[in-house]
A and B are shown apart, each in its own frame.
Chain A
Amino acid sequence: MINILCALRAEAEEIIKKYRLKKIHDKPFEIFISNDVRLIISGIGKVNAAGATAFILSDLDIDFNSTDIFINFGICGALQKEYVVGELILCNKVLDYEMRKNFFTDILIDYGLYEASIQTINNLDEQYDFLEDLVDMEASAAFKMASKFLYTHQIYVLKIVSDLVYEKSNERISRGFVKNLVKNKIETIINFVDVTESFLKNNPPFFQREDLELIEEVSNSLKLTFSQQEQLKNAYCFYKSQNRCEPAFLKDYLIIKPENSKERNVIFDQIKHQLYS
């Protein structure tokens, strides 16, 4: 599942259109979905971002989330002169300005994107130091919360520069301007998502949900103890790693119902022997 968090509706509209997302929620957050993409609009600021991230990720299966992605996408200000309005940037470092805590994505793919660091601040109107390249108001909180659900190579912060803070311009940014910035980069954003998704699908974890389901079915059927179930899992993994396939013969045991624990233990030893040989 692709999970995208935007602070503003204007940041999200092109993405909603491109993926043909349907609105399913209005409160506490607006949520739009398709089969494999979900987008949540958090509102501005760290608290909103953390809340919306937890809300959208809360139904992920943490044990089997290898193809899930979280992206905080939106506009940001540039703190350093080398950044220009309209550029799409992948953030390789996210600083929570008030907490002085850094977060890092594992960027394992060569996306061909510009990269930069970003600092997330509480209040745009107060004075703050320019410690990083970019500034926003959500990334660090979204990243921190997403880290409770996903690995570091599944969490991304993608930003488009909307204003040059180093020029101290106080010009208000219109909704149309933001929509246009996103529209100009929408194909790159979609490509980013596709490449990431493809990378994750091509590098699946060794132990899959189907493996666990089969182990649980066999364990329930044979009434294995907790310790036996753990041993079965290890033996199953040994077989699968050795033979590069699932032990299909395990399904034969689903119809066997041991009469008592002694019989169960004999059958269990037989299974282990088969798996380890």
Chain B
Amino acid sequence: MIKSNTNYIANSFSHIYIENSVFDFPITQYIIDRFPRSKIVRIENYNEVFSRKNQNPYLQKLSPSLIVGEKKEGFFYKGSRLCHNFEEEHFYYTNFILNCLFDCDYCYLKGMNLSSNIVFFVNLNDYFNEIARLLNTKNKLYLSISYDSDILIFDEIYPFLNEWYNFVEKNPKITVEIRTKSVLWKKFIKYKSLDNLILSWSLAPSDIIVQYEKKTPSLEARLNAISQLLKRDWKINLALDPLIYTGKPWKIIYKEFLEYLVTKIDINLINSITVGVFRIPINYLRRMKSFSNSPISFFPYETVEGVASYPKDLKEEMLNYVVLFLERYFNRDKIYIK
């Protein structure tokens, strides 16, 4: 038993729930060792904790727990129609980590998951085996590995990056994309850049970061991280997605942002840019509304084919504005719009 001292909000990962089947995995023990003060609770299946119906994910964000489990099926999925597919025929995503420590008001995870607790699936070799089997049936595969979490911030406690790097290096038919808002560029210094490993940075105007992307690094820090890796020949994508409507001053906010962006990084070295306005399945939005205190959840969106987004005219105006700006500096063929 561990007795703690203070009487207030518990630290993140004060409780670690571990599936019995992975308890003795070396990686599980490594994770436990990172949190010597945490309470360890053994469970049968991660869903016992993660998918309980009566959770309050907004309060859980104050002190998320960690769940360590084993993925038994569904090691990869076809990319959602709401995602950019970079015109890739075989576009998939995988999720060996669920949920995120950042707290973005617009994040679809808040509508998709019943919990804000973080899940690590630690049987990475099963993922690699299943993806290798899929690779045998395809000439080419584009795989995003960080749609359901900003995974890089977890690499210190669940070291997956080296494993993925080695897998990607050995499998030239696969292109892996890691999307992030983090500034952990130093992690990549020890690696040689790979043509089939793309790092994708989500960027937004500072006003939006401050108001709607709580706990995330500043725009300046993100741009610095990008610059550092561009210098080292890494393939970098930019995701100006989601564009957020902030009322009448939105054009000024985005103009300042885009001007700052092109002065801070050499945009011609960027591999591609994705642009998209906020969009979310309507059932996710409904769930977000039950706990949210953000205007993003309550904007009067239009719903088309089950997807809520800005009214058509506004959406087109926002996309055109941003794309027209980017076109002045960047090859239009490498700008993907959603």
Contact = CB atoms under 8 A, between A and B. Distances in A.
Contact of A206 (B2, B48, B55, B293): B293
Q: Which 6 A-B pairs have the closest CB atoms?
A: A206-B293, A238-B298, A110-B10, A237-B298, A242-B295, A241-B295
A82 B1 contact: yes
Contacts of A83: 1
Interface string A185-220: 000000100010001000101100000000000000
Nearest to A205: B291
Given A108-B59, A116-B1, A206-B292, 8 more contacts: A104-B17, A104-B41, A108-B60, A109-B8, A111-B7, A203-B62, A238-B298, A241-B295
Interface stretch (A26-34, A36-44, A146-154, A255-263): A146-154
B39 interface: yes
29 contacts: A92-B39, A93-B41, A93-B42, A93-B43, A102-B43, A102-B44, A102-B48, A104-B41, A104-B48, A104-B52, A106-B65, A108-B10, A109-B8, A109-B10, A110-B6, A110-B7, A113-B3, A114-B3, A116-B1, A117-B42, A151-B56, A152-B54, A153-B59, A191-B7, A195-B7, A238-B300, A241-B293, A241-B294, A241-B295
Contacts of B15: 92, 107
B264 to A, nearest CB: 30
Interface of A: 82-83, 92-93, 102, 104, 106-117, 147, 150-153, 191, 195, 199, 203, 205-206, 234-235, 237-238, 241-242, 272, 276
A110 B8 contact: yes
Interface string B1-38: 11111111111001101000000000000000000000
Nearest to A155: B54
Interface in B252-307: 289, 291-295, 297-300
Contact of B55 (A110, A111, A152, A199): A152
A209 to B, nearest CB: 15
Contact of A108 (B6, B63, B293): B63
A227 B9 CA distance: 40
A234 B300 contact: yes
B3 A241 contact: no
B7 A238 contact: no
A229 to B, nearest CB: 15
B49 interface: yes
B295 A199 contact: no
Contacts of A203: 59, 62
Given A150-B54, A152-B54, A110 B1 contact: no
A26 to B, nearest CB: 32
Contacts of B297: 237, 241
Nearest to A105: B15
B41 A109 contact: no
Interface in B44-68: 44, 48-49, 52-56, 59-60, 62-63, 65
Contacts of B62: 108, 203
* Tier of interface size on chain B: 35 or more
A52 to B, nearest CB: 20
Contacts of A109: 7-10, 63
B154 to A, nearest CB: 21
A188 to B, nearest CB: 11
Contacts of A205: 291
Contacts of A151: 54-56, 59
B10 A107 contact: yes
A237 B291 CA distance: 11
Contact of B298 (A117, A191, A195, A241): A241
Contacts of A113: 3
B41 to A, nearest CB: 5
A276 B2 CA distance: 51
A201 to B, nearest CB: 13
A112 B1 contact: no
Contacts of A199: 9
Contacts of B6: 110, 112
B196 to A, nearest CB: 41
A150 B14 CA distance: 22
A104 B39 contact: no
A113 B2 CA distance: 8
A112 B56 contact: no
A117 B41 contact: yes
A3 B5 CA distance: 26
A4 to B, nearest CB: 20
A151 B8 CA distance: 19
A93 B48 CA distance: 11
Given A93-B41, A117-B41, A276-B300, A110 B4 contact: yes
Contacts of B53: 147
A111 to B, nearest CB: 6
A104 B49 contact: yes
Given A153-B56, A203-B62, A238 B295 contact: yes
* Most interface-central of A102, A191, A195 (chain B CB within 10 A): A102
B41 A238 contact: no
A106 B293 contact: no
B1 A114 contact: yes
Contacts of B5: 110, 112
* Most interface-central of B7, B53, B295 (chain A CB within 10 A): B7
